Amino acid sequence: MSTAFDSASGEFGKPRALIDPFARAITYLRVSVTDRCDFRCVYCMSEHMSFLPKADLLSLEELDRLCSAFVAKGVTKLRLTGGEPLVRRGIMTLFASLSRHLESGALRELTLTTNASQLDKYAAELKGYGVERINVSLDTLDADKFRAITRWGDLNKVMAGIDAAQTAGLKVKINAVALKGVNEDEIGDMIAWAHGRGMDLTVIEVMPLGEVGEDRLDQYLPLSMLRARLAERFTLDDIDYQTGGPARYVQVKETGGRLGFITPLTHNFCESCNRVRITCTGTLFMCLGQEDAADLRAPLRASESDEALHRAIDAAILRKPKGHDFVIDRRQRRPALARHMSVTGG
């Protein structure tokens, strides 16, 4: 990295902090390390997906360098996603390398979102590299329904992964996508189960990303409707709790646990957005719900110096929009964006 004077920051040797046009500091980076997954969830992928050639993916060393550039520019929370991040060959070497930023204090949190299918193999190692909490995507506790939603998944493997994570001392949060007519009557039981094991649960509206062979209008359940149903069983008290993500939380009086709601469709959560996302090919998306993107692979590979990379990042952040354009298209019945969720990792 160059130690030349940075006219934008006014300091020697210190990269400029990431501030977008709406004065939001970008401190949270989500990095998709692979577009591949061992599940084919009906709201995320089509059953017969075409994945990127492995040659198109950034190497683990390049992913480390890219993440480190963002850490140098003020990112304090780093989440690795996929696809399913734990199916990427050698992924533990990336966690091991990135853990140096935790040790230096530059990074406050290194975490991941996983379907937990591989978690029983890696939970203890993740904990050893400084990962303290993880998100597990799980939409049902019914084995047959789980197989139908994921198409390929085995609920027993997921439960073994969650067991291993908790045994290793990882804090687990469950993410469940609310699917109309599929799991909407089960969310209450999932709350009781998760909270009974000391895990928070967040429910998420289905997002209109990519063709998945299913009708999103048929899947879509407004969380305002779900919350009203849950309020018939539980006492839900709004609380001022933040994890750095878009969820709004309530305390469930009967269980003592927290329940989050992520509502990209019924309530735009963009006003305090501090996040950007990078794909496994080095494309930076400043907003999950917009197509505008910046290529970071070219400047990354252009030089061993990070100067060009930092300039590309700065220019991209200045294009970060105020909010997304998610909408369920009821007339054309097509996704808001052609890009699949697995490309940017949610």
pLDDT in tens, 103-127: 999 999 999 999 999 999 999 999 9
Burial of 90 (0-12, 13-18, 19+ CB in 10 A): exposed
Residue 208, pLDDT score: 58
43 among annotated binding-site residues: yes
Question: Which of 28, 167, 171, 168 lies closest to 109, judged by CA?
Answer: 28
Residue 117, pLDDT score: 95
**Cα gap 188→282, rounded to integer Å:** 39
280 among annotated binding-site residues: no
83 among annotated binding-site residues: yes
pLDDT in tens, 164-213: 999 999 999 999 999 999 999 999 999 999 999 999 999 998 875 444 44
113 among annotated binding-site residues: yes
CA distances for 182 relative to 141, 146, 165, angstroms: 12, 10, 27
Listed range (139-143, 281-285, 301-305, 330-334) with the worst mean pLDDT: 330-334
**Cα gap 211→168, rounded to integer Å:** 37
Question: Which of 34, 30, 49, 43 lies closest to 82, judged by CA?
Answer: 34
207 among annotated binding-site residues: yes
Is the bond leading into 257 cis (omega within 30 degrees of zero)?
A: no
Q: How many C-beta atoms surround the C-beta of residue 237 within 10 A?
A: 10
253 among annotated binding-site residues: no
45 among annotated binding-site residues: no
210 among annotated binding-site residues: no
CA angle 310, 268, 32 (to 5 degrees): 40
79 among annotated binding-site residues: yes
Q: Look up residue 126 and give its amino acid.
A: L
E strands, 18-143, where?
28-32, 77-81, 109-114, 133-137
**Cα gap 345→85, rounded to integer Å:** 9
Give me the residue spans of the domains in the chain: 19-344
Q: What percent of the chain has pLDDT over 70?
A: 83
User: Is pLDDT above 70 for 338?
Assistant: no
pLDDT in tens, 206-265: 875 444 445 555 778 889 999 999 999 999 999 999 876 778 999 999 999 999 999 865
pTM (two decimals): 0.85
Q: How many C-beta atoms surround the C-beta of residue 252 within 10 A?
A: 23
Question: Which of 193, 240, 246 lies closest to 223, judged by CA?
Answer: 246
**Cα gap 42→46, rounded to integer Å:** 7
150 among annotated binding-site residues: no
**Cα gap 86→285, rounded to integer Å:** 22
DSSP state of 298: H
Q: Are 282 and 305 in contact (CB under 8 A)?
A: no
pLDDT in tens, 283-299: 999 987 677 899 999 99
277 among annotated binding-site residues: yes
- The top-level CATH class assigned to 19-344 is alpha beta
67 among annotated binding-site residues: no
Residue 264, pLDDT score: 67
Question: Which of 177, 143, 140 lies closest to 264, judged by CA?
Answer: 177
30 among annotated binding-site residues: yes
